[in-house]
Amino acid sequence: MGQVAIKQITVSTLQDAYREKEKIAVLTCYDATFATVLEEAGVDILLVGDSLGNVIQGQSSTLPVTLNEMVYHVQCVARGVSNAFILADMSFGTFQVSPQQAFSNAVQLMAAGAQMVKIEGGRHMAATIEFLTQRGIPVCAHIGLAPQSVHQLGGYKIQGKTPDSARQLREDALLLQDAGAAMLVMELIPAILGEEITRSLAIPTIGIGAGAACSGQVLVLHDMLGLTCGRPPRFVRNFMQGADSIQTAVENYVAAVKSGEFPAHEHIF
């Protein structure tokens, strides 16, 4: 039996969890059925990620995912939940041109059922984040590895390994917080850097390959269910191992995140 949420999760309740040092469990989600399963298992945030390009559409990257496709999947997820928080990725090309363009596109995601949008990029996105938050759209920033910039970065590589790049990520995190970001995803950075950034901020940090000190953790749903095509990334743990159902696997993931058991040493850099 799943641990059904007793109250709706909002930006305020996430901030409360952060202040009380309660870990935040996040998983990607793309449809109503899994949305219900994840909510009943106690997942706090359902991320409707542009990773659907990889795991749903069979694309080699997230770049081909369109705004209309994101809106459709947000609508599907929203129909499956009552209490879980819905975070939606802004897909490639929907926020980079101007803050006004980003606002127009974010409005569509919010109208579809999202409660917050996620934007990839460092300090150059600060003006856009400020523009959105001043107009009532909560924003989650995303630094470190930015999958939408995979070609520019030269592949899926660890970020922040040099003193200069680590300093830039620390500075970017503070700038994005000051611009109004209510949460920050950090992807594929050294654990010690993830801890330093988390300690420097007054907003929750969500890690994926960013160490155990983050305020919460996120994985791609298919990865944590052992459905990765090819070799899974180091930061992934297959929670279907030892579980008798998907529901149990998700409950085990939530428990491992909340207790601090995941990520373990073997999952960090």
| Catalytic-labelled residue, pool 20, 39, 130, 187 | 187
Does the annotation mark 187 as catalytic?
yes
Annotated binding residue 178: no
Distance CA 129, CA 24 (A): 22
DSSP string, 62-107: STT--HHHHHHHHHHHHHT-SSSEEEEEPPTTSSSS-HHHHHHHHH
Annotated binding residue 118: yes
Question: How many H helices and E strands in the chain?
Answer: 11, 8
Annotated binding residue 50: yes
Annotated binding residue 40: no
Cβ neighbours of residue 194 closer than 8 Å, sequence gap 6 or more: 186, 205, 207, 210, 211, 213, 214
Annotated binding residue 39: no
Is the separation of the CB atoms in 193 and 201 below 8 Å? no
Which residue shows structure tokens 């159902």? 245
Sign of CA dihedral 243, 269, 152, 131: positive
Question: What are 45's strand-pairing partners?
Answer: 26, 85
Annotated binding site: 50-51, 89, 118, 120
Catalytic residue set: 187
